[in-house]
């Protein structure tokens, strides 16, 4: 009986997690470890974390170094998960984070816990399963930054940058596959005519996660907007820029900051008939830089740069009628590609819409428990801790 009881204790029911739709019971004595890892790699990350925290055997399996890669490979063939950041500037903290893990990027949301003893002010960005968060307070009067894995639960603090009086700032966060480094970029601006003498060396700063200091990189390009980057592609952060004025309005361009060499570069823009639309945004589609524009209120075009930095590789991949839901023409922000060949969009009224180009059909997605006033961010969860990903010493952990 004792042996029988012991074996029963090692039978793990993954359906104990109420957020999981999977009903799986695993007898750890009967299945080879490789089969167990294959089963686990197919479960939602919420079930995996529950399994890890409620079972000694589960903790050992989740810690297997083979599982994170298996899990990530499976995710690459499915729709991206979404992190939803909801802002209420009258609340404290002003930013609440939610998570959607259903296959059609809609459904029930799960509220995400902030890092320990932290209040989130802003979601700076995300890559490789990690979030870069702006945290209220910290070691100085200004906000501080954390690199955070919301599912593993650990975070790494970014040391404060050198800040200057009356200077506004934006941040970018990214990873370069060639160097294997995560970096945070800080760009500061002074309001026009407010400061007579500006130290250009204070304008752009770069922090490599795992080091201890920010480095000065000079001034940003003069045409760069006072806004955060919109797309991370092949280790480069990208911004829309105001190049000048044309016959129909502002002429737009694209500027990138290459994280490996830490230099700004101009990116060839799409060969639009008139690059002077009143709306223009960047995004990432299937790993490629994408540019979306509403042209003369007549059609909404989405261009994709198939080969990064090569002007001739721009292709108009989608084009549709901006009046399709009735009323005035709408501008859409491209969120991500879907596994069925369609795309996920967010309308000006903040609603989420999926577009199927084969059927030329649109579907408004309902997210239960959350109003439309949120910012969606594609996200591929990771089972690696922030510490393990950054290879940092224990003393640097938050």
What integer pLDDT is reported at residue 126 of this predicted model? 92
pLDDT of 58 strictly over 70: yes
For strand 343-347 and strand 352-356, is the pairing parallel, antiparallel, or unpaired? Answer: antiparallel
pLDDT of 156 strictly over 50: yes
pLDDT of 214 strictly over 90: yes
What average pLDDT does the segment 181-188 reach? 93
What integer pLDDT is reported at residue 47 of this predicted model? 82
Q: Where in the chain is the domain with CATH 2.120.10.70?
A: 221-365
- How far is residue 162 CA from its own chain's centroid? 26
Distances (CA, A) of 298 to 12, 146, 230, 350, 360: 57, 43, 25, 21, 16
3-state secondary structure at position 46? helix
Band the pLDDT of 20: cuts 50, 70, 90: very low
List residues bridging with 113 in a β-sheet.
none
45-49, 125-129, 342-346, 378-382: least confident range: 45-49
- How far is residue 113 CA from its own chain's centroid? 17
65-102 residue pLDDT tens: 899 889 888 887 778 889 998 877 777 777 889 888 76
> Is the distance from CB of 275 to CB of 254 less than 8 angstroms?
no
pLDDT of 247 strictly over 80: no
Angle at Cα 332 formed by Cα 329 and Cα 334, nearest 5°? 160
Positive or negative: CA dihedral 270, 273, 276, 279: negative
304-335 residue pLDDT tens: 999 999 999 999 999 888 776 555 666 788 99
Distances (CA, A) of 385 to 97, 346, 380, 397: 19, 31, 14, 11
CATH code 3.40.50.20 for 221-365? no
Averaged pLDDT score across all residues of the chain: 79
pLDDT of 63 strictly over 70: yes
R_g (Cα) of the chain, nearest Å: 23
> pLDDT: is 248 or 3 the higher one?
248
What span, in angstroms and rounded, lies between the C-alpha atoms of 152 and 240?
A: 34
For the entire predicted model, the pTM comes to 0.84
3-state secondary structure at position 203? coil
> Is the distance from CB of 260 to CB of 270 less than 8 angstroms?
no
pLDDT of 18 strictly over 50: no
Band the pLDDT of 162: cuts 50, 70, 90: confident
């Amino acid at each position: 009986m004792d042996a029988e009881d012991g074996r029963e204790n090692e039978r793990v029911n993954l359906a104990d997690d109420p957020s999981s739709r999977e009903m799986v019971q695993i007898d750890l004595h009967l299945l080879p470890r490789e089969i167990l890892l294959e089963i686990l790699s197919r479960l939602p990350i919420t079930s995996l974390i529950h399994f890890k925290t409620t079972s000694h055997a589960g903790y050992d399996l989740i810690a297997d170094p083979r599982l994170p890669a298996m899990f990530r490979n499976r995710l690459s063939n499915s729709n991206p998960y979404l992190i939803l950041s909801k802002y209420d500037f009258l609340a404290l903290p002003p930013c609440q984070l939610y998570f959607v893990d259903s296959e059609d990027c809609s459904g029930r949301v799960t509220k995400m816990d902030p890092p320990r003893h932290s209040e989130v002010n802003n979601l700076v960005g995300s890559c490789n399963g990690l979030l870069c968060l702006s945290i209220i307070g910290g070691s100085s009067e200004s906000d501080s930054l954390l690199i955070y894995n919301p599912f593993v639960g650990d975070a790494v603090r970014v040391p404060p940058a050198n800040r200057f009086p009356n200077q506004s700032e934006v941040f970018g966060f990214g990873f370069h596959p060639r160097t294997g480094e995560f970096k945070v970029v800080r760009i500061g601006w002074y309001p026009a005519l407010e400061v007579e003498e500006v130290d250009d060396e204070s304008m752009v700063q770069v922090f490599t996660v795992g080091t201890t200091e920010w480095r000065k990189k000079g001034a940003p390009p003069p045409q760069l907007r006072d806004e955060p980057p919109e797309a991370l592609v092949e280790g480069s952060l990208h911004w829309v820029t105001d190049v000048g004025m044309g016959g129909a309005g502002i002429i737009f361009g694209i500027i990138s900051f290459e994280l490996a060499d830490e230099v700004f570069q101009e990116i060839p823009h799409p060969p639009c008939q008139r690059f002077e639309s009143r709306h223009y945004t960047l995004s990432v589609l299937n790993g490629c830089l994408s540019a979306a524009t509403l042209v003369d209120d007549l059609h909404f075009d989405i261009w994709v740069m198939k080969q990064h930095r090569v002007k001739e590789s721009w292709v108009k991949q989608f084009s549709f009628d901006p009046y399709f839901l009735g009323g005035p023409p709408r501008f859409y922000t491209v969120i991500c590609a879907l596994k069925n060949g369609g795309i996920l969009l967010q309308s000006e009224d903040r609603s989420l819409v999926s577009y199927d180009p084969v059927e030329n059909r649109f579907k408004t997605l309902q997210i239960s428990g959350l109003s439309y006033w949120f910012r969606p961010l594609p996200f591929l969860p990771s089972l690696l801790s922030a510490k393990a990903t950054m290879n940092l010493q224990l003393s640097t952990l938050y």
